[in-house]
Amino acid sequence: MKKKVLSAILSVAMVASLLVGCGSSSAPAASEAPAATEEAAPAAEATEEAAPAVEANGKKVGVAMPTQSSERWINDGSNMKKQLEALGYEVDLQYAEDDVQAQVSQIENMIASGVNCLVIASIDSSALVNVEKQAKDAGIPVIAYDRLLMDTDAVSYYATFDNKGVGTAIGKYIVEHTELDPADPKTIEFFMGSPDDNNAHMLYAGLMEQVQPYLDDGSLVCKSGQVDFESNNTLRWDQQTAMKRCEDILTGYYADDELDIIASAFDGLSYGCKSALEGAGYTADNWPLITGQDAELMATKNIIAGTQTMSIAKDTRILAEKCVTMVQAVLEGAEPEINDTETYNNNVIVVPSYLCEPVAVDKDNYKEVLVDTGYYTEDQLAAE
Ligand code: BGC
């Protein structure tokens, strides 16, 4: 059944490749660190049917992922591995558990082991400059996955979602689902992403473009005053950090008032805020509008239960598919799919990019966006 759903989304060629390469769905991780989010089951697993052996093409791809503490990266890693293996590549997939130095070492080892291409989803976008230079000197092409690699000319292509578009979609959702009236102001607090991730800055820019006019006219009020990215970012997108900050904000600024909106940049941050709100005695009667990003399984269950309002669905199968075309381009001379040659300036070069489309998801459209596409099954969403 899943095959049918997949075939609706992926190209015929890619589906054929997937079916060939989906013999295993286990996440081969370098690190055994437990997942921080409650649900870490990969979405959109491929079918388990026996696959004919794929002829190895003799080339090895190193895939460096940031962490397994968030479900999306587990899905990204396993989708990349499956799709590359289906084309005959050997894959070295490593997770660094948000430890920048560990990621540097993993990439150094990949270079030393003779990989032909590197795909990197960085922890700190600027911290890999030296190792990227090593790759370039060794003639190994580098592709940036989801997060732009900053301050380097060693990156060939960038596969991502429209990162400013994510912020725009979150901001639009807030504006469209709130009665905005300066005579009856609504309170809002911001929980943004990691300052060392370029995506977090772009999301913030897209979000503020939408909500700033309403902060200016008094329809929205941020009682903590923490509107600047400098004051509302969350290092490493960490759930516990967000929870603690939300607790402090609720105690410090909302003792006599209610918080109406939490503009959260990531589902993990939304879980932290949810815990803080429960601790402060919020109930279904006064629960705020809470945004998120990634439409993780847990977040989608929370959306159905009403404890998170929306998220941004990012189909990691499609992102992996686009990234694989880039790997083929640098290794086989094929033509990669590119749809942006202007936006992603990394301070050294403008990196040719493919931007996938982020989709806002809430209780009204989650079936269409997440179930009908095979990203989650009804069973996964119904499970305790
Ligand atoms: C990704 C988001 C993700 C966040 C936290 C960002 O770079 O674009 O999808 O929610 O990292 O992992």
Specify if 66 maps to a domain.
Answer: yes
197 CB near ligand 1 (under 6 Å): yes
| pLDDT number for residue 31 | 42
**Largest Cα–Cα distance in the chain?**
68
Q: For residues 94 and 194, state if they share a domain.
A: no
Q: Is ligand 1 within 6 A of the CB of residue 85?
A: no
State the DSSP string of 187-216: EEEEE---TT-HHHHHHHHHHHHHHHHHHH
What is the reported pLDDT for 334? 86
Specify the pLDDT at position 44: 54
Strand partners, 261: 188, 289
User: Does the Cβ of 362 fall within 6 Å of ligand 1?
Assistant: no
Q: How many domains does the chain have?
A: 2
CA of 208 to the centre of ligand 1 (A): 18
278 and 334 together in one domain: no
Which residues, listed in sequence order, are joined to residue 191 by a DSSP beta bridge? 264
Three-state SS string over 209-276 comes to HHHHHHHHCCCEECCCCCCCHHHHCCHHHCHHHHHHHHHHHHHHHCCCCCCCEEEECCHHHHHHHHHH
In the chain, where does DSSP find H-type helix?
2-9, 12-21, 71-86, 100-112, 129-137, 163-176, 198-216, 229-232, 239-253, 267-279, 297-305, 316-332, 366, 378-382
Residue 234: which domain range? 164-313
> For residue 216, what is the domain's CATH number?
3.40.50.2300
Give, for ligand 1, the residue of 170, 199, 269, 344 to mutate: max count of ligand atoms closer than 8 Å to Cβ: 199
Cβ of 291 below 6 Å from ligand 1: no
How wide is the angle at C-alpha 302 spanned by C-alphas 296 and 303, nearest 5°?
A: 90
Kindly report the protein residue whose alpha carbon is nearest to atom 5 of ligand 1: 237
Would you say 27 and 72 are in contact if contact means Cβ atoms under 8 Å apart?
no
Q: Are residues 153 and 37 in the same domain?
A: yes
Q: What is the pTM of this model?
A: 0.88
Tens of pLDDT along the chain (384 residues)? 333 333 333 333 333 333 333 323 333 333 433 333 444 445 554 444 555 678 889 999 999 999 999 999 999 999 999 999 999 999 999 999 999 999 999 999 999 999 999 999 999 999 999 999 999 999 999 999 999 999 999 999 999 999 999 999 999 999 999 999 999 999 999 999 999 999 999 999 999 999 999 999 999 999 999 999 999 999 999 999 999 999 999 999 999 999 999 999 999 999 999 999 999 999 999 999 999 999 999 999 999 999 999 999 999 999 999 999 999 999 999 889 899 999 999 999 999 999 999 999 999 999 999 999 999 999 999 988
* Residue 377 forms part of a structural domain: no
Strand partners, 157: 143
Residues 6 or more apart whose CB falls under 8 angstroms from that of 34 comprise none
Same domain, 86 and 152: yes
293 ligand 1 Cβ < 6 A: yes
The residue type at 272: G
My answer on whether 93 and 29 are in the same domain is yes
Q: Is residue 323 part of a domain?
A: yes
Question: What whole-number distance in Å separates Cα of residue 88 and Cα of residue 321?
Answer: 15
The answer to whether position 16 is within a domain reads no
254 plus 352 within the same structural domain: no
Amino acid 53: pLDDT: 74
> In terms of Cα–Cα distance, which of 71, 112, 68 is closest to 93?
68
Q: Is residue 124 part of a domain?
A: yes
Distances (CA, A) of 226 to 144, 206, 252: 31, 17, 12
Tell me, using a 6 A CB cutoff, whether residue 237 lines ligand 1. yes
| 79, 157: one domain | yes
Sign of CA dihedral 78, 84, 87, 90: negative
Does 297 reside within a domain?
A: yes
Q: Please tell me whether residues 237 and 140 are part of one structural domain.
A: no
**How many angstroms separate the alpha carbon of residue 266 from the centre of ligand 1?**
7
Strands 186-191 and 261-264: what pairing? parallel
Q: Which of 313, 342, 374 is the last residue of a domain?
A: 313
Q: For residue 368, is it within any domain?
A: no
- Note the Cα 168 to chain centre separation in Å: 16
- Residue 41 within a domain: yes
**What does DSSP assign to residue 294?**
B
Determine the atom of ligand 1 nearest the C-alpha atom of 67.
12
Identify residue 132 by its one-letter amino acid code. E
